[in-house]
Amino acid sequence: MEKDEAKLAEPAAAVDDPDSHRHECRSCGFVYDPGEGLKKLGIAAGTPFQQLDLNSFRCPVCRSPVAAFRDIGPRNKPSGFEENLKFGLGVNTLTPGQKNVLIFGAFALAIAFFLSLYSLR
């Protein structure tokens, strides 16, 4: 029972931890993920955005300053507005990656069914 409670507490802790949040450049769309870092600029994986040097760090794509970045939350956070997550038959609580698997998996299944019609005589 304690393990189940610990599993439920982990996603909430990841969402509340600002060090795990990704930041997106509003100018070009580049996303800084602290879990990956930036090898090109010598920033190690696990370095939070807040620990970057405000004076010297620039977007590696468009050279915009730190002020051009906005917090887009952690990687595994469900997409959409918080008040809308309870609607949509549970699909709104899926992460963007899970939604992609659901959508493209349905397309692959539909194509497989369509191709299977050729085997009928």
Q: Is 32 buried (19+), middle (13-18) or exposed (0-12) by CB count in 10 A?
A: buried
73 shares a domain with 83: no
β-partners of residue 38 are: 43
Q: Domain range for residue 61?
A: 1-77
Structural domains counted in the chain: 2
pLDDT band at 13 (very low <50, low <70, confident <90, very high): very low
63 shares a domain with 8: yes
pLDDT score of 111 = 95
59 shares a domain with 13: yes
52 shares a domain with 9: yes
64 shares a domain with 49: yes
Q: Is residue 20 scored above 50 in pLDDT? A: yes
What digits encode the pLDDT tens for the residues 96-105? 788 899 999 9
What's the CATH number where 12 sits?
2.20.28.10
Q: What is the mean pLDDT of residues 27-41?
A: 87
63 shares a domain with 105: no
